[in-house]
Amino acid sequence: MSGVLVSLTEQSLDKTMEYLRYMQLNGFNSIFTSLQIPEEDPRELLEPLTSIGQFARKHNMLFMVDVSPRTFEHFSLQQLKDSGVTGLRIDNGMEIDEIAELSHEWRVALNASTIDQAFLDGLRGQQANFASLEAWHNYYPRPETGLELTIFQNQNRWLQSQDLTVAAFIPGDGDLRGPLHEGLPSLEKHRHLSPFAGYLELVHECFVDHVLIGDLSVSSWTMQQFLAWNEGAVLLGVEDQRPSHVWEAVHHNRPDIARDVIRSEEARHHFRGSILPEHTVERPAGALTIDNDKYLRYCGEFQIVLQPLPADERVNVIGYVAQRDIPLLPLLHKHRLAFRFLATASYCE
């Protein structure tokens, strides 16, 4: 499951609805917003909240809203329900008995970073409906305050062992949300990482079930990567591309995983012919290479270089993974994810 965050005041309602239509058409199925932004006037929130809620209801999307006791000074639960809200994320300030009561009528997300065994035991003691409870991490606008990776992984592994769905945020790479405009990730290491690289790390390394984009939009390249992923492959941008038969194929790392390179399981198996030595230069991380005739039986071997390697007269360099996609390579290497390529000239940032 993947979703988007929207602001109720930071951009026009028309622009927000245009973004939601675009993301929903491209497979995003949940919406998150907050009713506890200090800079926002609660009197200005009901109209956009209702418009977004109606859209969510029409398209059968989850609509989760961040709330606190302060929220209910301005909105009743009935107002939220009438507006189309389908779930409440409760950060802090509510008692266990209040949360337990809400869980019998609402989908309730708890702060994933602060849940412990005693808290869950308290909810059980109050007869909470655990089928309605989830664990959602915060996003962190201020640099250096995002979560640490190992603690995050350990917490999520434990939360899943408690049968709780885990959600977290990645930054966007289009319009960034205020007030700081420096990304809204859950993990600090994702603040300046490409959104898709953050997404893959969350789902493959971090025990996260549900990923949401924290900022207000994504680039066209990021959307192309999400669409390719929906079709079953990681899309990598290629720079300085030279002609080759490998560009149109879908590839996987071989099951006998090498230390220094990702070896295409498919390329040599299907190749028949001759490849003359050409551009046999040094191979930095991200270099895309194909073995030429001088490598004898390995002619046609296609690799992605993971760490710098020297020039080899038997190995042609036919392109380079775009710099922003280099962080994807360890995930392709370890998890043997399918991958394919698109020249950087073929997309617009």
For each of the chain's 349 residues, which pLDDT tens digit applies? Answer: 699 999 999 999 999 999 999 999 999 999 999 998 756 677 789 999 999 999 999 999 999 999 988 888 889 999 999 999 999 999 778 999 999 999 999 999 999 999 999 999 999 999 999 999 999 999 999 999 999 999 999 999 999 999 999 999 999 999 999 889 999 999 999 999 999 999 999 999 999 999 999 999 999 999 999 999 999 999 999 999 999 989 989 999 999 999 999 999 998 776 778 999 999 999 999 999 999 999 999 999 999 999 999 999 999 999 999 999 999 999 999 999 999 999 875 544 4
Task: Single out the residue in 203, 231, 259 at which a domain terminates.
Answer: 231
Does the pTM of the predicted model rise above 0.85? yes
The enclosing domain of 27 has a CATH number of 3.20.20.70
CA gap 213, 183 in Å, rounded: 10
Distance of alpha carbon 317 from alpha carbon 304, whole angstroms: 10
Q: Do 277 and 213 belong to one domain?
A: no
Pair (136, 250) in one structural domain: no
Closest C-alpha among 96, 26, 98, 28 to residue 56: 28
Cα dihedral 88, 76, 178, 26, rounded to 10, equals: 50
Do 93 and 209 sit in the same domain of this protein?
yes
Full residue range of the structural domain in which residue 340 is found: 236-346
The tally of domains found in the chain comes to 2
Residue 100 shares a structural domain with residue 63:
yes
Could you tell me if 299 and 314 lie in one domain? yes
175: helix, strand or coil: coil
Pair (172, 119) in one structural domain? yes
Residues 302 and 221 in one domain: no
201, 231, 261: which is the final residue of a domain?
231
Residues 120 and 16 both lie in one domain: yes
Residues 6+ away with beta carbon under 8 Å from 272: none
Q: Are residues 287 and 329 in the same domain?
A: yes
Same domain, 205 and 268: no
Query: 150-209 pLDDT, tens per residue?
Result: 999 999 999 999 999 999 999 999 999 988 999 999 999 999 999 999 999 999 999 999
| 273 and 312 inside one domain | yes
Tell whether 218 and 182 lie within a shared domain.
yes
User: What length is written for the chain?
Assistant: 349
Which of 199, 231, 263 is the endpoint of a domain?
Answer: 231
CA distance 160 to 150: 16
CATH of residue 251's domain is: 2.40.100.10
**How far apart are alpha carbons 54 and 50 in whole angstroms?**
6
